[in-house]
């Protein structure tokens, strides 16, 4: 039996890892993008840009507008516009959501509402979607609506 040279065996061993497939997530995008998505969503809400809102809101499976269509997206985002319209906002916190299936962050936002009320630490849960971008999955709108009732 013919023996293979040791350098050939080493080459085979070192190249074996190159043949495997794995999903790579850009770590810089994981740290910077969640708050930028929230900022863009809040700008779109103040401009009543329902389409942009529908593209920034969704789940791990993708944007809301792609799954629900234009009509339903416009109706639901229009409700959010009425709640989220603000004079000023400030992102005050960001932390990873423990135990989430997909990478998720909670972004805390303080709002100054048009009626002069300040609402503190409204949570936006942002999830890393299969489309390799961050989407807002959940907004703690009850914090805003309860503050308006007081």
Domain boundaries, the chain: 26-149
Residue 87 CA, chain-centre distance (Å), reads 23
pLDDT at 3 (0 to 100): 54
Give the CATH number of domain 26-149; options: 3.10.450.50, 3.40.50.720, 3.40.1390.10, 3.20.20.150.
3.10.450.50
Distance CA(38)–CA(100), nearest Å, equals 19
Kindly state the average pLDDT of the residues 80-90. 97
pLDDT for residue 10: 39
Does residue 102 have a pLDDT over 50? yes
129, pLDDT greater than 60: yes
- pLDDT (tens digit per residue) in 6-37: 544 333 434 444 444 344 444 444 455 899 99
Q: Burial code of 60-80, b = ≥16 C-beta within 10 A, e = fewer?
A: beebbbeebeeeebeebbeeb
Burial state string for 17-52 with b = 16 or more CB within 10 A and e = fewer than 16: eeeeeeeeeeeeeeeebbbebbebbbebbeeebbeb
Residues 131 and 63 sit within 8 Å (Cβ to Cβ): yes
pLDDT for 149 equals 82
Give percent of the chain above pLDDT 70: 79
Quote the CA–CA distance of 84 and 137 in Å, as a whole number: 15
């Amino acid at each position: 039996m013919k023996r293979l040279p040791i350098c050939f065996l080493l080459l085979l061993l070192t190249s074996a890892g190159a043949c495997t497939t794995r999903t790579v997530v850009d770590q810089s995008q994981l740290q910077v993008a969640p708050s930028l998505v929230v900022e863009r969503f809040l700008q779109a809400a103040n401009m009543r840009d329902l389409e942009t809102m529908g593209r920034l809101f969704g789940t791990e499976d993708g944007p809301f507008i792609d799954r629900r269509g234009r009509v339903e997206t416009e109706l639901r985002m229009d409700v959010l516009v009425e709640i989220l319209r603000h004079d000023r906002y400030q992102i005050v916190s960001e932390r990873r959501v423990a135990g989430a299936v997909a990478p998720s962050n909670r972004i805390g936002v303080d709002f100054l509402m048009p009626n002069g009320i300040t609402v503190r630490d409204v949570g936006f849960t942002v999830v890393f979607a299969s489309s390799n971008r961050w989407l807002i999955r959940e907004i703690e709108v009850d914090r805003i609506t309860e503050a308006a009732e007081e």
